[in-house]
Structure 1
Amino acid sequence: MKSVDVDTPKTKETETNQTKNGFLALVSKLCFDEKLPIRFMYKTVPEHLNDTGWRMFTGYETEEFLEDELSNLVPVPVEKMCRLDSSLTDLVTFNAGTVWERAPGSEGWERVHDYRIPSASVDVDITNDVDRFNVDPED
């Protein structure tokens, strides 16, 4: 297993060499319903085999819009998004943890380092009580 020195500066090669899985991104419906361009995107850890981990937004989504992920984010092939906007092509090669944005009126993308990528919340009940593991679910 190859180790990476944390003091070594990141290069495009070290930030794009992850195993490539999946082919879908979750994309805001505003891109299609309102015909707005992608202006903010990040890559999270993929949630399933078809997922690349990319999440793409217009920047005009409200909190309420984002809370209803099932209705407002659609799975779209990354290749299709790159055909619609060729500026995405190089960016989608980057690893999980990468965040990008571009200001309205700007064609160039800027790397974002201070955005905390949301993660799925999982409720886990941890216990050392052995008796809780021996409970019959039909009781």
Structure 2
Amino acid sequence: MKSLNPDTAPEPGYETAQTKNGFLALVSRLVFDEKLPIRFMYKTVPEHLNDTGWRMFTGYETDEFLANEQLNLLPVPLEKVCQLDPALPELVQYNAGTVWERPPESSEWVQVHDFDIPAPTTEVAITNDVEDFIKSRERS
């Protein structure tokens, strides 16, 4: 396993002390269908018990591609994904909120600090008007 750059490696227990749950990562279909390497990944808060929170991409995904998560992001055991790149086992030890990228001209991973990790959104309408509430329930 390749060591991380000492300048970017976390202090022991600081960025890797989070409780580990789950075993699945969501990985872009392009990694498997097109045999492209993973070049961008982030860890979000896991959505269920089997989820690690890791989301992995090639960097060639379009907005339209990413909009269809159920078709284009595959749940893959993290152990299988780590076999694709010898640097991944060390990187996937990091906590939620961590972002990594590997520029095309480089074989080294670099931690990213200016990327906003997407959060799932749920639209909620709040009203204090009983009639509006009843109408909204009838429409649903």
Q: Give the alignment's TM-score, normalised by structure 2.
A: 0.83
Deviations 1:67-106 (A, max 9, x none): 1111100000011111121111111000000000001131
Match of 2:116 in 1: 116
Unpaired segments of 5 or more residues in structure 1? 1-9
Q: Secondary structure at the match of 1:15?
A: coil
Unpaired segments of 5 or more residues in structure 2? 1-9
Match of 1:125 in 2: 125
Amino acid at match of 1:11: E
Q: Secondary structure at the match of 2:14?
A: helix
Match of 1:103 in 2: 103
Deviations 1:37-66 (A, max 9, x none): 000000001011100000000001011100
Match of 2:43 in 1: 43
RMSD over aligned CA atoms reads 2.0
Work out the CA distance in 1 between the residues paired with 2:105 and 2:12. Answer: 26
Compute the displacement of 1:127 (Å): 3.9
Deviations 1:10-36 (A, max 9, x none): 624211000101000000000001100
Task: Please identify, of 117-126 and 73-82, the stretch whose mean Cα deviation from structure 2 is larger.
Answer: 117-126
Q: Give the alignment's TM-score, normalised by structure 1.
A: 0.83
Work out the CA distance in 1 between the residues paired with 2:133 and 2:69. Answer: 34
Amino acid at match of 2:82: C
